[in-house]
Chains A and B, each alone.
Chain A
Amino acid sequence: MHEETVYDALDTTHGGGGQWAFGTGFDDPLAGVELTVPDGVDPADLGAYCLMLGDDALVLAQRLTEWITAAPELEEEVAFGNTALDLLGQARLLLTRAGSVGVLGRSRSTATDSIPDEDALACFRDPDEFRCTGLVAAGNGDFAQTMVRLLAASTVRLAVFARLRASRDPVLAAVAAKGVHELAYHRDHAARWVLRLGDGTPESHRRAQAGVDAVWPHLADLFTATDVEARLAAAGVAVDPAGVGDEVHDVLTTVLTRATLRVPGRPADVVPRGRTGGHGPELSALLTTLQGLARRHPAATW
């Protein structure tokens, strides 16, 4: 008799070691990737840019994690967990890269030596050292607002990563090449929910519209390059955020219109605050939760 489960194949791909519970057949996204900094690029700029992209992922992952045990459905809770873990994986690669080119600064003097760079950067930087945008730092709101924010954030990040695949920095190119598949799914998943909530019941429509109105002002902070981004974009390493604004607004307008939601006017671009360390109290509160355990027990392992 042929008794098959999908887990049998996993076990054999892993040499029959019975470790399928941890997953198998995974690819190392940095396998064979050159780690030297490209010619003519200031390592401090490259590190700062890695922090921008890494912090966006880390902070949004933490926001999504806040839904664990609180999501409206078990299935959606797992989806939040998966999305958060995708982003956390991106954050780890980017923070590790940032650490390797020397951005640790204060966080290294605060953290114990046994802590890897990525953990020192995630858990031992103060809020003013974070380079995430206000779009990801803002609180979740309700489920509808969370999905609108995920739609906006994944649309922005997918547009950036799609271009970043051509970066002269091989690490950024590899991280982007891995990330676009994850981000395409995040965007698709969020878009499906926004369609259903916007074009659902009067209550779901009202909440989705309120979510759009709450998220929209954060789009002002996204599409003006900082000096670091401008220098790196000129060097073919970074993506100029000004170049993705139209695409992002086109995608969001398409989804919201189909969802019967009113599209707010495009907010005027402002000088980036989050990218230069200007954050509100919401990020501090998030980091208190994210960093509390590591700071209290800096040598803990598990």
Chain B
Amino acid sequence: MSARAGWPLYEVFVRGKRGLNHVHVGSLHAPDDEMAVHAARDVYTRRNEGVSIWVVRADAITASSPDEKDPMFAPSGDKVYRHPTFYEIPADVPHI
């Protein structure tokens, strides 16, 4: 049982049929990287969702801390001029 508890946690990213980028869909435990891809296929794409899978060990992700939320993100909250909403977008430019 202890060996099972030792399986590392992986985060799973799937690109859907019409998706442009991989999207986080959940997490799972697996004994190694290759088996994590298989497990992700079996757990997260069994309803025909995906065409590509990324997995990454959760402990390889460096995340921002919830405690730092305000210093990290509040400063950008009042700077509307950073949004490119003042440009005319040509009709034939997709994916914006």
Contacts and interface: CB of A to CB of B under 8 A. Distances in A.
Interface stretch (A4-12, A34-42, A207-215, A228-236): A4-12
A6 B38 contact: no
Interface residue SS majority, chain A: helix
A82 B46 contact: yes
Q: Which of B34, B38, B50 has the most CB of A within 10 A?
A: B38
A75 B4 contact: no
Interface residue range, chain A: 20 to 34
Interface in A127-167: none
Interface in A36-83: 72-76, 78-79, 82
A6 B34 contact: no
Contacts of A20: 47
Interface residue range, chain B: 20 to 34
Contact of A25 (B20, B32, B34, B48): B48
A34 B19 CA distance: 36
A197 to B, nearest CB: 10
A91 to B, nearest CB: 18
Interface string A24-35: 111000000000
Nearest to B14: A6
Contact of B34 (A72, A75, A82, A192): A192
A21 interface: yes
A13 interface: yes
B28 interface: yes
Given A7-B49, A10-B47, A82-B46, A75 B29 contact: yes
10 contacts: A4-B19, A4-B20, A9-B18, A10-B17, A24-B47, A25-B17, A73-B29, A75-B29, A75-B30, A189-B38
Interface of B: 4, 7, 14-21, 23, 25, 28-32, 34-35, 38-39, 42-43, 46-50
